[in-house]
Amino acid sequence: MKMRNKLNNIFNHLNSKIIGQKDVIEVVLTSIILNGHSIITGVPGLAKTLIINLVSKLFDLNFKRIQFTPDLMPSDILGSEVIDTDPKTNERFFKYKKGPIFSNIILADEINRTPPKTQAALLEAMQEKNVTVGGKSYKLDKPFIVFATRNPIEQEGTYPLPEAQLDRFMFSINIYYPDYKDELKIIRMNENDLEIDKSYKINQKDLLQLQKCVNKIPISDYHYKYGLNLVRMTRKEDKLSPDYVKNYLSWGVGPRGGQYLIKAARGFAYIEGKKKVERTHLDRAFNYIANHRIILNFQAEAENIDKNEILNKLIEDVKK
């Protein structure tokens, strides 16, 4: 209970600093307590970097921002072997110099700006939790969480992430413009308003313990089946799928997405102070889990069908 109160204090503190992005902050915090990676899509100037930076400070975690550019190489992220000299013997030897990936929270800014080879280096480290350089493996720090950003406006000169790599992200988070009242508050703020109160901090050791506690939140067999039905209804070849899925989707959510749905529901239950997972937690998590995993077909693109419309309709239909 004490840890949950601390997390709630962090949530309220962040909401006082980042105006108009309450849902985004909640999902980012959920991602942290689940040790899950997230991809964030939004136009420039919506505080994507600021949110992640402030969150890392409140959890007392190391934070690194990597600006992905067309000339970024895998060694710029992972590190490389450099020649060093022993001061006593003057012998030369190779020494591994760690890259920025050896941090607790990584902000991969504009990940679709860099070529697939460099993208793959980061995504492989996300999956394996270690880095291999010069035939040697190096374990990454715990926790290790990646937040990648994408700019939806400029597509020229970008390298879209393949669906197989997108599947490694637990959440897909969309950031939108704030409403009029919130934006008025934002333009009245100054840099001093962004100073965080260190008394709200959760240290690294407590966070690792918190992550273990969240994974133990109970979920009934009914809710396991409810989550599975949601996932299977996104697949056009499944007997559970409705006609609009068959008409508009090429691919649905895979088993990994189903695992993440259950995990995310536990995270939302903890954030809300519940002792067990409820149906509303699965519903809440579904869009964030499924949005980057379903693929619209040509007909859906031609009719300007929105993914969220399909996902919301599936939530309504699975309840019937």
Q: Tell me the mean pLDDT in the region 109-117.
A: 88
pLDDT interval class at 235 (50, 70, 90): very high
Half-sphere exposure of 49 (CA within 13 A, CB side): 11
For residues 245 and 128, membership in a common domain is answered with no
Q: What average pLDDT is seen over the chain?
A: 89
What is the pLDDT confidence band of residue 228, given thresholds at 50, 70 and 90?
A: very high
Cα end-to-end span (Å), the chain: 36
Number of domains, the chain: 2
Question: If DSSP codes are grouped into helix, strand and coil, which group holds residue 11?
Answer: helix
**pLDDT tens-place string over residues 53-72:** 888 888 888 889 999 988 99
Give residue 155's pLDDT: 63
Contacts of 291 (CB under 8 A, 6+ apart): 172, 174, 307, 308, 311
Q: Are residues 130 and 241 in the same domain?
A: no
1: pLDDT strictly greater than 70: no
Assess whether 184 and 259 both reside in one domain. no
What's the confidence (pLDDT) of residue 129? Answer: 87
Q: Which domain holds residue 49?
A: 1-212
One domain, residues 167 and 291: no
Q: CATH code at 51?
A: 3.40.50.300
Indicate if 244 and 226 belong to the same structural domain.
yes
Q: Are strands 38-41 and 171-174 parallel, antiparallel or unpaired?
A: parallel
pLDDT value at 319 more than 80: no
Give the separation between CA 314 and CA 241, rounded to whole angstroms. Answer: 9
Whether residue 166 is found in the same domain as residue 290:
no
- Residues 107-125: what's their mean pLDDT? 87
Residues 161 and 235 in one domain: no
Q: Within this chain, do residues 99 and 179 fall inside the same structural domain, yes or no?
A: yes
Mean pLDDT for 94-104 is 87
CATH for 265:
1.10.8.80
Same domain assignment for residues 157 and 235? no
- For residue 67, the cross-strand partners are 109
Domain boundary at 182, 212, 242, which? 212
Q: Are residues 205 and 237 in the same domain?
A: no
Q: Which of 189, 212, 235 represents a domain boundary (last residue)?
A: 212
Reported as a pLDDT band with limits 50, 70 and 90, residue 7 is confident
Look at 276 and 92; give whichever has higher pLDDT.
Answer: 276
Q: What is the pLDDT of residue 320?
A: 61
Res. 113: pLDDT tops 80: yes
Q: How confident is residue 123, by pLDDT bands cut at 50, 70 and 90?
A: confident
Domain final position from 197, 212, 227: 212
What's the pLDDT tens digit per position in 144-184? 999 999 877 766 667 888 777 888 899 999 999 999 999 99
Residue 269 pLDDT more than 90?
yes
Q: Clarify whether residues 225 and 277 are in a common domain.
A: yes
Q: Tell whether 58 and 156 lie within a shared domain.
A: yes
Distance from the Cα of residue 10 to its chain's centroid: 18
Does the structure show a pLDDT above 70 at 142? yes
CB 29 within 8 A of CB 8: no
Nearest to 154 by CA among 108, 107, 113: 113
* Reported pTM: 0.90
Which sign, positive or negative, has the C-alpha torsion 165, 167, 170, 171? positive
